[in-house]
Chain A
Amino acid sequence: QSALTQPRSVSGSPGQSVTISCTGTFSDVGSSNYISWYQQHPGKVPKLIIYDVSKRPSGVPDRFSGSKSDNTASLTISGLQPDDEAYYYCSSNAGPSTLLFGGGTKVTVL
């Protein structure tokens, strides 16, 4: 049960786009339709922003988008805003009974 691999940090200026990758294996990301992304501000509870690879929960702006190719999932934040500065985590099921998280990526808005 190894964690999924994310870059430790990404940064961008307001208005720009950033993309965070989440790399696993065929046993998890590669064979899953249940990729999720979470945003977590310091000291706060994680917030679901993408589920089922590319779907957005109610209330999440369309600046957040998700995709997947082979064993890598990606989260793109378009039109970067100051409040987007946070940690982002991906997750994927690995088979029918295990959930894996990525190590987390810190997004910095310059």
Chain B
Amino acid sequence: EVQLVQSGGGLVKPGGSLRLSCAVSGFSFSEYSMHWVRQAPGKGLQWVSSISANGPHMSYADSVRGRFTVSRDNARSSVFLQLNSLRAEDTAVYYCASYSYSGWSLDQWGQGTLVTVSS
């Protein structure tokens, strides 16, 4: 059974930092790109970042580029999202996600973790 188990998240002040983790089991982690998607309270889905299978290629949404950093550790089957210079508008549930059908179709999702940016 495929599982994506997230940790991290919580309440942080504006300008602060946070690190999200996503531990994966049940599939060949090192062969798949990984994505981060967020959803602000009462809002829609927004793609945040992705990292290629072997890690050399990272992509970011314009709204987070330069503040967020995605990384992965294939030996630990884990992907991470470092959130720096956080703003109120970064408040959201963050999901890690991956795919088994097609690279841009996300059928494997973590449970989500809430990041709240507030003073």
Q: Tell me the A residues contacting B by CB distance below 8 Å.
A: 1, 3, 34, 36, 38, 40, 45-46, 48, 51-52, 55, 57, 87, 89, 91-93, 97-104
Contacts and interface: CB of A to CB of B under 8 A. Distances in A.
Given A1-B62, A99-B50, A100-B47, A55 B101 contact: yes
Interface stretch (B18-26, B79-87, B104-112): B104-112
Interface pairs A-B: 9 shortest CB-CB: A51-B105, A97-B59, A34-B104, A104-B44, A99-B47, A48-B107, A36-B105, A101-B45, A93-B104
B61 interface: yes
Interface of B: 35, 37, 44-47, 50, 57, 59, 61-63, 95, 101-107, 109-112
A57 B101 contact: yes
Contacts of B102: 34, 36, 51-52, 55
A52 B106 CA distance: 11
Given A3-B44, A100-B47, A46 B35 contact: no
